[in-house]
Amino acid sequence: MKDFLQQIIYGINAGSIYALIALGYTMVYGIVKLINFAHGDILMMGAYFGLLAITVLGLPFPLAIVIAMLVCAAFGMIINKVAYKPLRNAPRISALITALGISMFLENYFVVQFGLEVRKMPEIAWLKGEVFIGGLSIPKVTFLIVGLSIACMIALQFIVRKTKVGKAMRAVSEDMQAAKLMGINVDKTISITFALGSALGGLGGVLYSVAYYQVEPYMGILPGLKAFVAAVLGGIGIIPGAMFGGFVMGIIENLTKGFISSSWSNAILFGILILVLLFKPSGIFGKNTREKV
Amino acid sequence: MLKVNDIQVYYGAIHAIKGISFEVNQGEIVTLIGANGAGKTTILHTVSGLIKPKTGNVQLFDKEISNIEAHKIVEMGMAQVPEGRRVFAKMSVQENLEMGAFSRKDKGNFDADYDMVFEKFPRLKERRKQLAGTMSGGEQQMLAMARALMSRPKILLMDEPSMGLAPILVDEIFNIIQEINKAGTTILLVEQNAHKALTIASRAYVLETGTVVLSGPANELLDNDEVKRAYLG
């Protein structure tokens, strides 16, 4: 039982990072119907920018997080403008292939800039060590990761549900043309969506590198794909679904590692994608809402 | 107020609008009537800036708007009730109305506007919190109209507001259109229900496959033999 709970804690830790990244996939899909396969690389970039902010600029960790999020937000908007916006009226497959191209470009650009060597995120003194609760050991960094992730998700929900820009995002995602006829600047709204999703991805990157210490150009691929599965599991385009899917993925991954075998964990995670696509392609939170027309 | 000068519009290779001109003056209800595929919706989309004319231009308040983005045209005072209502189904009635007011610069308090639209459409008030997609077709049409009014348009474009509605609702919708017009909003109405449209309009243009074949005061067109045969049955 203790082992089980211990793995659940590790699972929540990993899952909150998957949830952050899954949000980026699902928000962008929700609004432009594009799986932004470059989103995993935003995570990688966030980790690098966080690392550089700490090691080169000598900034404190909280500020490094903010910088990583801001720079990733900017890159998200640039990627949208350069790569996806010109293809808005093109067949969807063109945009998808472009996303893969952007992903490869970013990975290789970071290889050229920073080399293939695996860099280590410096240990943050106040995050070292563990807290023991009822015989369970919880790394201090887990509190930070889970706390920050959940805070950001609540903030995002607030933005999407209550603010003018969030409502515009929902309107554009439902009917782009009707949104234009309301006076909504669709391009700007899409750009903001990319910025928000990428900022969360950047945060995910910093937290991921703090949890697992390493930073390298291909680090975004696997967590990116797992987060994509999380978004599909929860129901692509549905924000609470992405959060839920992220936590489920993290917990399943760690239970597999703890009780079956580490080498099986990825096979099982991606097996989930196949099962979802076979039996409930709309995801757990996706329902066929009846709409009168 | 609104002037359309000899526009030609293409959908890919399809020549949808083959040189159409018309104008709408302050305070009028002008209607474009014609069969399916005559190009009525294409014209409204071009006027609203959703599609750009290949040649010709559109002027609103003596300013050329052919190259202005759709969302900025709304700010200038032109709103559209699109064909098929196109309410935001997953948003509440209240949120749909807020989207209608999106372009307004006078931030914050739209209470007077809510009162105005709820007075016209009392059923929306009861359903303020309800998701738009769960309402009946007639209620959605009313929401689409209320939503457009929230931008306080000087000119309102309406695309087939009676489509798919029960006759009693059609009468109600047309009464409301007249009310909106009397309150000072100019209206450009596109309709397949030619009889109804001609009854409330001051002037009309009859379209056939992308060109204007007839135009004139609405009451004269009501008596026109050709119009009677083709559109009034």
Model pLDDT, residue B104: 87
Q: How far is A135 from chain B (nearest CA, A)?
A: 47
- By three-state DSSP, how is residue B50 classified? coil
In a domain, A287, yes or no: no
Q: Which of A177, A208, A184, A152 is nearest to A15 (CA)?
A: A208
B chain contacts of residue A186, beta-carbon cutoff 8 Å: 71
The domain boundary residue, chosen from B152, B172, B188: B152
Q: Can you give the C-alpha Rg of chain B in angstroms?
A: 17
Q: How far is A237 from chain B (nearest CA, A)?
A: 13
Q: Are A293 and B165 in contact (CB under 8 A)?
A: no
Rounded-to-integer distance, Cα A214 and Cα A202, Å: 15
The whole domain housing B93 covers 86-152
In a domain, A235, yes or no: yes
Cβ–Cβ below 8 Å for B140 and A186: no
Q: Are B88 and B102 in contact (CB under 8 A)?
A: no
Q: Nearest-CA residue of chain B relative to A188?
A: B71
In a domain, A93, yes or no: yes
Which among B71, B86, B133 has the least Cβ separation from residue A183? B71
Q: Would the ipTM clear 0.90, i.e. be above it? A: yes
In a domain, A139, yes or no: yes
Alpha-carbon distance values, A127 to A62, A124, A138 (Å): 12, 5, 11
**Is B132 in the same domain as B113?**
yes
**Is B15 in the same domain as B69?**
yes
In a domain, A260, yes or no: yes
Q: Looking at chain A from residue 175 to 194, which residues have their Cβ under 8 Å from any Cβ of chain B? A: 175, 177-186
Model pLDDT, residue B108: 67
Helix (H) or strand (E) holding B8: strand B2-11
**Is B219 in the same domain as B105?**
no
**Is B147 in the same domain as B196?**
no
Helix spans in chain B (H) = 40-48, 70-76, 93-100, 111-120, 122-126, 137-149, 167-182, 194-200, 218-223, 225-227
Structure tokens at B146: 């209320």
**Is B14 in the same domain as B111?**
no
In a domain, A290, yes or no: no
Q: Are B159 and B50 in contact (CB under 8 A)?
A: no
Angle A239-A240-A244 (CA atoms, 0-180°, nearest 5)?
Answer: 120
Cβ–Cβ below 8 Å for A164 and B102: yes
Strands B2-11 and B55-60: antiparallel
Q: Looking at chain B from residue 132 to 171, which residues have their Cβ under 8 Å from any Cβ of chain A? A: 133-137, 140, 147, 151
In a domain, A285, yes or no: no
The whole domain housing A11 covers 2-279
Cβ–Cβ below 8 Å for A177 and B75: no
For chain B, the domain total comes to 2
B chain contacts of residue A292, beta-carbon cutoff 8 Å: 133-137, 140
Rounded-to-integer distance, Cα B74 and Cα B102, Å: 9
Rounded-to-integer distance, Cα B141 and Cα B119, Å: 16
Structure tokens at B194: 């030619």
CB-based contacts of A198, cutoff 8 Å, min separation 6: A24, A39, A42, A72, A73, A75, A76, A77, A79
For chain A, the domain total comes to 1
In a domain, A75, yes or no: yes
- End-to-end, the C-alpha distance of chain B in Å comes to 33
Model pLDDT, residue B233: 66
Q: Does B19 touch chain A (CB under 8 A)?
A: no
Rounded-to-integer distance, Cα A180 and Cα A187, Å: 10
Rounded-to-integer distance, Cα B124 and Cα B104, Å: 21
Say which CATH number the domain at A115 has: 1.10.3470
Cβ–Cβ below 8 Å for B91 and A170: yes
Q: Does A293 touch chain B (CB under 8 A)?
A: yes
**Is B133 in the same domain as B220?**
no
Cβ–Cβ below 8 Å for B147 and A170: no
B chain contacts of residue A189, beta-carbon cutoff 8 Å: none
Model pLDDT, residue A135: 85
Interface test with A, best of B72, B90, B99 (most A CBs within 10 A): B99
Q: How far is A167 from chain B (nearest CA, A)?
A: 8
**Is B25 in the same domain as B58?**
yes
Q: Are B55 and B7 in contact (CB under 8 A)?
A: yes
Q: Give the pTM.
A: 0.91
Q: Does B46 touch chain A (CB under 8 A)?
A: no
**Is B73 in the same domain as B157?**
yes
Rounded-to-integer distance, Cα A26 and Cα B7, Å: 41
pLDDT in tens, A43-61: 999 999 999 999 999 999 9
Alpha-carbon distance values, A170 to A29, A36, A178, A237 (Å): 12, 18, 12, 10
Helix A239-259 vs helix A140-162: angle between axes, to the nearest 10 degrees? 160
Model pLDDT, residue B149: 95
pLDDT string in tens for chain B (233-residue length): 999 999 999 988 889 999 999 999 999 999 999 888 888 999 999 999 999 999 999 999 999 999 999 999 999 999 999 999 999 999 999 999 999 999 988 766 788 899 999 999 999 999 999 999 999 999 999 999 999 999 999 999 999 999 989 999 999 999 999 999 999 999 999 998 899 999 999 999 999 989 999 999 999 998 888 888 887 76
Mean pLDDT by 10 residues, chain A (293 residues): 90 94 93 92 96 94 96 97 92 92 96 92 86 88 91 92 94 95 96 96 94 90 94 91 94 94 92 92 76 44
